Chain A
Amino acid sequence: EAQVTQNPRYLITVTGKKLTVTCSQNMNHEYMSWYRQDPGLGLRQIYYSMNVEVTDKGDVPEGYKVSRKEKRNFPLILESPSPNQTSLYFCASRTGASNEQFFGPGTRLTVL
């Protein structure tokens, strides 16, 4: 089944403790992105990647890092999480042909 998977689905952590949220897609898509969704603010893009080893900042990159060492994986790294990073995070992928985006199920992160 074609899908985007994220792990973990739920995470509660404390300020300053480094964490990684994994994202993987099995559709051989070139492009992958990370978004966060907050009440009243909607979905905002954090980082995106056009292909292996090619990444760029979205609208709200501060406090986040990404890497794209393999085509299928695009992990999101929070080196020193803070409470304002409490949010619902989505990973997405798409082909270059149609631009249709496919989203993962989301990761609900709480930083205490």
Chain B
Amino acid sequence: KQEVTQIPAALSVPEGENLVLNCSFTDSAIYNLQWFRQDPGKGLTSLLLIQSSQREQTSGRLNASLDKSSGRSTLYIAASQPGDSATYLCAVYSGAGSYQLTFGKGTKLSVIP
């Protein structure tokens, strides 16, 4: 059964810093990996989707990489801002013919002004 781990569980950084969030998964046979952002009490907003054949995706200040062989993905946030404060969730689609999406428990990011 696929398991997704996100480290660290919480992170606090001063405004302007570059930072990396980590996601690891146990079964490398994935279809794709998706990063989400969740604000307190709110729904999930899709940030980046990486197909299994891709190594990275970029959107503005965000860059996500995928290394299937090692079972790892990173989300890089450049020049962090207080508005980036949220919980970031990693999720993987895995299993041939499966529609199972497995989530990590998230990294809670606080960007201090």
Contact = CB atoms under 8 A, between A and B. Distances in A.
25 contacts: A31-B99, A40-B105, A42-B104, A42-B105, A43-B91, A43-B103, A45-B100, A45-B101, A50-B99, A58-B100, A59-B100, A92-B44, A98-B51, A99-B49, A99-B93, A100-B34, A100-B49, A101-B101, A102-B46, A103-B36, A103-B43, A103-B44, A104-B43, A105-B43, A108-B41
B43 A100 contact: no
Task: Say what secondary structure dominates the interface of chain B.
Answer: strand
Contacts of A43: 89, 91, 103
Interface in A72-110: 90, 92, 98-106, 108
A92 B34 CA distance: 14
Nearest to A6: B43
Task: Say what secondary structure dominates the interface of chain A.
Answer: strand
A90 B44 contact: yes
A102 B103 CA distance: 14
Given A45-B101, A99-B49, A103-B43, 14 more contacts: A33-B99, A40-B105, A41-B105, A43-B91, A44-B103, A45-B100, A56-B99, A99-B32, A99-B34, A100-B34, A100-B46, A103-B44, A106-B43, A108-B41
Nearest to B6: A42
B42 A98 contact: no
A42 B101 contact: no
Interface in B93-113: 93, 99-101, 103-106
Contact of A106 (B36, B42, B105): B42
Q: What's the interface size class on A, roughly? A: 20 to 34
Interface centre among A45, A48, A99 (most CB of B within 10 A): A99
B107 to A, nearest CB: 12
Contact of A42 (B34, B49, B106): B106
B76 interface: no
Contacts of A98: 32, 49, 51
Contacts of B32: 98-99
Interface string B29-61: 001101010000111111001010000000000
